[in-house]
Amino acid sequence: MNVRKRITIVVLANAAFTLAVLLVAPTVGSTPIALSRVFDQSMPWESNVDAQIFFVARLPRVLSGALVGAALAAAGVVLQAMLRNPLATPFTLGVSAGGALGAMIAIALGLDVGVLGVTSVPIASFIGSLVAIAIVYGLATSQKRGLSTNVLLLAGVTLNSFFSALILFVQFIADFTQAFRAVRWLMGDLDVGSYSPIVAALPFLVCAFAVFAILPRTLNLLTLGEDVAAARGVEVVTAHRWAFFSASLATGAAVSLGGPIGFVGIIVPHLVRLMVGSDHRVVLPAAALFGAAFTVLCDLVARTIIAPLELPVGIITALIGGPFFLWLLVKKS
């Protein structure tokens, strides 16, 4: 029962798998390409179609898929531990609803502001997420009791309902094409087409993951209950704050990059726990790595299965998620 060894083995195994997926994914797609041509330096860039497909179309897509998957899976793990609820998802606390509202507003108003190569919809989505985070945090914090997870959950659920109503309203007043774009955004889209959105999301993701790195043992204790955790030396309110902000930031950044891709934040944590147990020092890194691989693979299926047409990646994760939950339910009963 050597904890350090266990963590190392599991993380390395996951890392190897994920690395393999990340290396293979850009080489597979609806158009056959030859790796030799991709890396052929002698061919000028303008005429090298294979290289462009690899570096302009597929590689940014794979990278954003990996980042989004890792962020959502890790955020899912953190929120499930903090809320002591295996059914919590990164979207439970209203962050993605805020992101969706931001995106809808940008689409409906036809906003066209670009900053550092990032267009208005991702920016508006991220701002929407930040607003949601502020509202939920504000509602759940009180002088007396610090941050209450019960109120956090209630506030998140309420915000989800409220923002969903607003989203419906925005779709209603938007015209036909805008409403279609809005609905399409909700299904997730990783075809970022350039590295700028990835670079823009990176600082937030790095901050979130830096916090994720120090949370795991605290998360273990938090799952035992607030009083028990406190008695074991955990500063519960501080821990809740770190968990909430890091998970919400990761979710907001992921949603602004690829849209609200559902099910990753709940399937991956569950699968990982089934495989490695509940020690968050193993679960959190493993979930992040597996989440990356899972999302990239789902996107691979999405972009090849009905070529030349594509399915939105959120549909693939939902198609996997539905039966997965049925299976979980059957297994538990």
Partner 1 sequence: MVDDVSVSLAEGTLTGILGPNGSGKTTLLRLLSGTRRPSSGRVRLGDRPLDELSRREVAQHIAVVPQETQLAFEYSAIEIVLMGRHPHLGLFTVEGPADLRIARDAMASTGTSALADRPFDQLSGGEKQRVVIAAALAQSARLLLLDEPTASLDLGYQLEVSALLKTLNRDHGVTMAISTHDLNLAASICRELILMRGGRVIAAGPTHDVLTPENVRRLYDVEADVHVHEDTGHITVVPVRRLHP
Partner 2 sequence: MALSEKVLNTKDTKDTKNNYLNTSAAKRGLAFGRKHVLAFRKVFFVPFVSFVLFLGATTQPEPHRIVSLVPALTEMLFAIGAGPQVVGVSSYDKFPTDVQSLPRVGALLDPDTERILSLKPDLVITYGSQVDLQTQLQRASIATFDYRHGGLDHILVTLRQLGRRTGRMKEAETVATGIEARINAIKSRVAGKPRPRTLLVFSRDPRALRNIYVSGGSGFLHDMLVTAGGQDVFGDVKRESVQATTETILARSPDVILEIRPDDIPAGKELDEEMATWARLASVPAVRNKRVYFITGQQMTVPGPRVVEGIERMVRALHPPAVK
Measure Cα distances from 262 to 1, 12, 66 in Å: 35, 27, 15
Residue 161 CB neighbours (<10 A): 11
Using CA atoms, how far apart are residues 89 and 77, in angstroms rounded to an integer?
Answer: 8
Backbone torsions φ then ψ of 175, nearest 5 degrees: -85, 180
| Three-class secondary structure of residue 259 per DSSP | coil
Choose the one of partner 1, partner 2, none that binds residue 225, judging by a C-beta under 5 to 8 angstroms depending on kind: partner 1
Secondary element (H or E) of residue 147:
strand 146-147
The reply on whether position 86 binds partner 1 by CB under 8 A is yes
Closest to partner 1 by CB, 14 vs 149, is 149
When computed from its CA atoms, the radius of gyration of the chain, rounded to whole angstroms, is 20
User: With CB under 8 A as the contact rule, which of the stretches 31-39, 40-48, 222-230, 256-264 interacts with partner 1?
Assistant: 222-230
Choose the one of partner 1, partner 2, none that binds residue 150, judging by a C-beta under 5 to 8 angstroms depending on kind: none
Residue 114 CB neighbours (<10 A): 10
The reply on whether position 142 binds partner 1 by CB under 8 A is no
> Which segments of 83-195 does DSSP mark as H helices, in order?
95-108, 120-140, 149-173, 176-186
CA 85, 312, 60, 297 dihedral sign is positive
CB of 73 to partner 2, least distance (A): 24
The reply on whether position 220 binds partner 1 by CB under 8 A is yes
Find the binder of partner 1 among 217, 305, 306, 327 (CB under 8 A): 217
Query: Binding-site residue total for partner 1 (CB under 8 A)?
Result: 29
CB of 282 to partner 1, least distance (A): 11
Give me the residues that bind partner 2 (CB under 8 A), please.
29-31, 45-49, 52-53, 56-58, 112, 114, 119-121, 176-177, 181, 184-185, 189, 191-194, 303, 308-310
Return residues touching partner 1 (CB under 8 A): 1, 3-4, 7, 80-81, 84-86, 214, 217, 220-221, 223-225, 227-228, 230-235, 273, 277-279, 281
